[in-house]
Chain A
Amino acid sequence: MRIAVLVKDVPDLVEELELDESGRGLAVDDLSYVPSEWDDQALEEALLLKEASGAHVSAVALDTGDVDNMLYTALAKGADRAVKLVGDYDRTLPGRQRARILADYLAGAGYDLVMTGVQAVDDLDGQIAGLLGGMLGWPHASVVRDVAVDSGAVRFVQEYAGGRMAEFRSSTPLVLGVQAAKKPPRYVPIARIRQVSRSAALEEVEAGGSPSESLAAIERLYRPEAQGHATMWDGDAEQVAAALVALLDEQHLRS
């Protein structure tokens, strides 16, 4: 089984999200970036699959900025190959166009299974797994867990609201948007990543310029402060506890 895991980095939500002057986008240069948490899950699931049934795992990223470290990390964790799709684009490239570039690459790259995070915090114009499925005309599914190889086909579980799930079996090629790996993503020491970055090379694939896609335009990006914000209780833990107890009493909610 040849698996491609698509990885990307997204702004770290722990830090303040600064907006740019236009008010339509983020100040991309002022933010700190972290690997998208669901992509991490997808990579882990792929590596577990490799350990269980011997797949060949490639990590694939679009060169929109500092993605080298993310790819070396994937190699250090156990991926067999790292592919960087280079071209003239930056972090502001919309997801839809990213998907097109990825689809063009994946169409002829001979993978059986493409795994990626179920979503990312910035995929306003659609989740990558679905976009790729549509562009490539391959079967695909989102919110997936428990992926397994089953005599040339792939089995996986899809999650629905209320804790319901269903198990499917699909022929390949197949695209899966992974929700959670069987185990939390593994840690890889920084020294190991550096070692890999010295000894292994990233495979660079020329992927051309930004394709044209029909897009919905963002007119404004803002913090949702304005709406019904909670009444905030000030003070330390003691005062907050007191306010909460008063609320409980007022609502007759104390048992």
Chain B
Amino acid sequence: MGPIIVVVEMQSDAMSPASAELLSRARQLARAQSTRVVALGFGEAARGALGSSGADDAFLAAGADAYVPTQAEAALRQVLQETAAGLVLLPNTTMGMDLGAATAAAEGRPMVAYATSLAAVEGGAFKATSQVYGGKLVAEVAVPEGSVVTVLPGSWPADEAVSGTTPVRDLVVAGESPMELVRTIEPDTGDVDITRADVLVSVGRGIQDPDNLELADELAEALGAVVSCSRPVVDAGWLPRARQVGKSGQTVKPKLYLALGISGAPEHLQGMKDSEIIVAINSDPTAPIFEVAHYGATCDILELMPILTERLGGAD
């Protein structure tokens, strides 16, 4: 089998945790299928990370420092043309969504997205499970050799220590890019830093109406907690972006994460599933949030919040 290609993503000058997770699994799979791991990174900043990636080989597409979808795709396809890859692994992040499907389609490779587990099977193929339908169903998929797989961050742990250095080869990508970076926009840290809170009262679309946020505020006050939320609450303009937990928001690890009316879409889980204790309240007993929660209940949050606040001695 050809090598396993892992596309590495950078996050504030270090390799993203999701990439480290992929590399760990790639090494295991490579051993099982007796092949090598080849890492690919973009931008000069990735050189160091690639060198200590634990991969057998690495390519660095230098040039622009930041990520530009068209340039990254050209680089990945060039690597694939040079090496007959047996598997291509990407994190199911923005980058993975950009490069995964496009590369698979362009190169005629099968594709599996939203994977949460990946194992080798006899005869040089793999098997994955993926979260579909907002996490309400799990698909078990046979992954043929040569496939592209995008993996949800946090699906398995990364190896603690990686030894040895990986030789990094520079990749010169030919051609003009039709797409140019205009500027990068740093996150709006806003009023509070939800990543530092010990207790988060996190509200989702189940809050139904911005007026009801008052109930969450009162509860948070009684708990000494901070209010965070799922993405739709931000998109509706009910809370500032800095309060958003999940894939395109913050990753949080509080001591207690109280999820109120949040269904538990994979993108949300990605931002909070490592919290120490997760308590989920959702009127739908089949909501996927209960899969990651430690404790759960199916009552109405609008009913629960004032009662809880009162019991905690707040909002009198």
Q: A: which residues have CB within 8 A of B?
A: 11, 13, 16-17, 96, 99, 118-119, 121-135, 137, 139-143, 155, 157-171, 174, 177, 179-180, 184, 214-224, 227-238, 240-245, 247-248, 251, 253-255
**Closest residue of chain B to A123, judged by CB?**
B113
Q: Is the CB of B251 within 8 A of A161?
A: yes
A247 to B139, CA, bound (A): 35
Q: Is the CB of A227 within 8 A of B291?
A: yes
Report how many residues on chain B are interfacial, defined by Cβ distance under 8 Å.
105
Q: Is the CB of B181 within 8 A of A127?
A: no
Tell me whether B62 is interfacial, beta carbon within 8 Å. no
Q: Is the CB of B104 within 8 A of A163?
A: no
Q: Chain B's nearest CB lies how many Å from the CB of A235?
A: 8
Given the known A-B contacts A241-B304, A245-B311, are A124 and B141 also in contact in the complex, defined by CB atoms under 8 Å? yes
A141 to B190, CA, bound (A): 27
Give how many A-B residue pairs fall within 8 Å (CB-CB): 277
Within 8 Å by CB of B279, from A119, A124, A216, A244, lies A244
Q: Is the CB of B134 within 8 A of A13?
A: yes
Given the known A-B contacts A119-B97, A240-B297, are A216 and B256 also in contact in the complex, defined by CB atoms under 8 Å? no
Chain B residues with CB under 8 A of A169: 179-180, 182
Q: Is the CB of B133 within 8 A of A11?
A: yes
Chain A residues with CB under 8 A of B147: 216
Q: List 10 A-B contacts (CB under 8 A).
A: A17-B136, A122-B132, A130-B105, A133-B73, A134-B101, A134-B106, A166-B185, A231-B294, A241-B307, A243-B295
A176 to B147, CA, bound (A): 24
Chain B residues with CB under 8 A of A119: 97
**Closest residue of chain A to B147, judged by CB?**
A216
Tell me whether B43 is interfacial, beta carbon within 8 Å. no
Q: Is the CB of B104 within 8 A of A237?
A: no
Within 8 Å by CB of B141, from A11, A137, A157, A218, lies A218
Within 8 Å by CB of A124, from B132, B183, B308, lies B132
Within 8 Å by CB of B288, from A129, A137, A224, lies A224
Chain B residues with CB under 8 A of A240: 281, 297, 299, 304
Tell me whether B109 is interfacial, beta carbon within 8 Å. yes
Q: Flag B275-288 by CB within 8 Å of A: 1 or 0 each.
A: 00111110001101
Tell me whether B123 is interfacial, beta carbon within 8 Å. no
Tell me whether B42 is interfacial, beta carbon within 8 Å. no
A-contacting 9-mer, from B28-36, B158-166, B207-215, B239-247: B239-247
**Closest residue of chain B to A159, judged by CB?**
B248
Tell me whether B202 is interfacial, beta carbon within 8 Å. no
Tell me whether B98 is interfacial, beta carbon within 8 Å. yes
Given contacts A133-B73, A223-B137, 5 further A-B contacts (CB under 8 A): A131-B101, A164-B186, A165-B184, A221-B137, A255-B224
A216 to B101, CA, bound (A): 13
Tell me whether B13 is interfacial, beta carbon within 8 Å. no
Interface centre among B16, B102, B148, B177 (most CB of A within 10 A): B102
Tell me whether B110 is interfacial, beta carbon within 8 Å. yes
Within 8 Å by CB of A163, from B94, B102, B131, B188, lies B188
**Closest residue of chain A to B221, judged by CB?**
A255
Given the known A-B contacts A121-B132, A223-B137, are A184 and B236 also in contact in the complex, defined by CB atoms under 8 Å? yes
Q: Flag B103-120 by CB within 8 Å of A: 1 or 0 each.
A: 111111111111000000
